[in-house]
Structure 1
Amino acid sequence: MKTSDFYYDLPEELIAQTPVEPRDSSRMMVYNRKTKEVLHKHFYDVIDFLNEGDALIVNDSRVLPARIYGTKIPTGANVEFLLLKQVKDKVWETLVKPGKKARTGDSFTFGDGIMTGKVIDVLEDGNRIVEFKCDSNFYETLDKIGQMPLPPYIHEKLKDKERYQTVYSHELGSAAAPTAGLHFTDELLEKIKAKGIKIGYVTLHVGLGTFRPVKVDDVTTHKMHSEHYEVPEETAKLIEETKKNGKRVIAVGTTSCRTLESVAKEHGKVVPCEGWTDIFIYPGFEFKVLDGLITNFHLPESTLIMLVSAFAGYDEVMGIYKEAVKEKYRFFSFGDSMFIE
């Protein structure tokens, strides 16, 4: 398949710039893979499509306020740093703009001097390895001086940092939110649990590779970025029991999906483990775990729309997206959702 096969025309006004309130009032398109039926609902209706004994698997990763602005010592030049991946304690791989102002050995100060950073290496792709120093806890300091690394297609400033976090986010480490989970409220989750649906947690720290365009013509030659994941024992047990009882495992988001399918591909089933995954799911992929998927509407020609097409069918998904444009659904990170069952 060609990357261009996954292109669709999207009017700019349909790219959501701000989240809706309350979270679960976003719209939700429901697609049944067996009947091919499409329904137009709201996210709070999701409970009607979940059955007792089903398992919802969510990604509890929490987004770092990873965009920080520093000044070069001693010139005072302004430089932007985006934390991508932790190398070790207080040492991070970062994206720096402008890069020419951050060479090996250069030092920077952040937040009126409460943190400093020194470039200790420049990687082949231009990313910088930076060692940070601060007197207090690194993450608390980051919370004071950092901004949420919103995707490049969002131009509005986020008033409340928590709106780019899921209500169940817990494990710090992502450079972007697992956005399918942004639609849940605490109240909706309680209703879902009360109906007898179990919630299982995995952690996959989302990297900025999520937003990188596929630059090759032949989809199969694309190389995925690598992301760190963890599957706890209770989640592995929950999935095994759910399958044994003939009920459904439903992933909330492509990150949860990639975690489960990556582990199952390596071990034959979902087992407790942690590691790095660069799994690339596109049409032709054989799913071992997923019975359902809750996801947002993704960028044209992205690996995310390819994953959704692998699960629901290429022709079907391209038709669904055309319908979503026609019905004026809101797209991307702060946009509406889709439940594929």
Structure 2
Amino acid sequence: MSEQGYTVAVVGSTGAVGRQMVKYLEERNFPVRRLVPMASGRSAGTKIRFRGEDVTVIEAAADAFEGVDIALFSAGGSVSKQLAPEAVKRGTVVIDNSSAFRMDPEVPLVVPEVNAEAVRRHKGIIANPNCSTIQMVVALKPLLDRYGIDRIIVSTYQAVSGAGASAAAELERQTRAVLAGEEVNPRILPVGRLNKHVQMAFNVIPQVDVGEENGFTFEEMKMVNETKKIFGDESIGVTATCVRVPVMTGHSESVYVELKQEYDLEEVRALLAEAPGVVVQDDILQQVYPTPLESEGKSEVFVGRIRRDLTHPRGLNMWVVSDNLLKGAAVNAIQIAETLISMK
């Protein structure tokens, strides 16, 4: 680092999340001395806009990290596994958006509003959690601190942009085809590399990521395992059902939580309203509640439909919405970088 700021690489800079990383490095006025956008060989040579200037994208390779202070990775797990250790060898701190290192006991898994201090334990790599996990733990953190948590049951309603720009484009094509009475030929969702694909337009798919032997999907197990790691409590019961819905951007979650202590509903609302990064929108009589469309382009986590469960004395229900490309990915990664430099 120099007095003028940091050399920051964005790996996967031409992808949906990578583009948001570049945008929000600028919007949040991160102290970037030099931006180094990286991507695959086929995207190398293209230009991206940063602070009013065109910056050339270079191919992501080990030697490209020479002189890079911080690297934000959003190019998939295989790229992260290959190049993150190489970046660290060259003195770069990696903030990785893939699942490659999240459950590595040597790698902190960080949501700054929840466990910022974990950044101090990094050994060169810091993991950015799954998008669905991030928004849920931000909403639950104030309740964990005040009452403790026994159990979490979550059902997600996840936007197609979480599966990449190609999945979002496929939803648009399918929607046009259905409305025109044309044949729909799904090729990507629920998982591109699987043999069977399902129409997303005007449909709901109860599968996000590949299936596991235990009947859950990899996405669901991410939420289970990551939540326990971030909260630092293996005793919390977590179960998840992750569902893809025909929404472009913005994940929604129905969250049921059983607290360890009795609670006052108005105190819960007040705790959430005061929590960093949380916006409460909760008045069902006036039809006030979060929706993914209204959360798009915003960095906060929105919480509504807060109500006492009818069957459990310590049960609480809520509805949690956030932009999966921002707080669920790009903005959280940048917040980790901001936390990192604040601790130097």
TM-score band (shorter)? 0.3 to 0.5
Q: Which has the higher helix share?
A: 2
TM-score, length-normalised on structure 2?
A: 0.33
TM-score, length-normalised on structure 1?
A: 0.33
Q: Which has the higher strand share?
A: 1
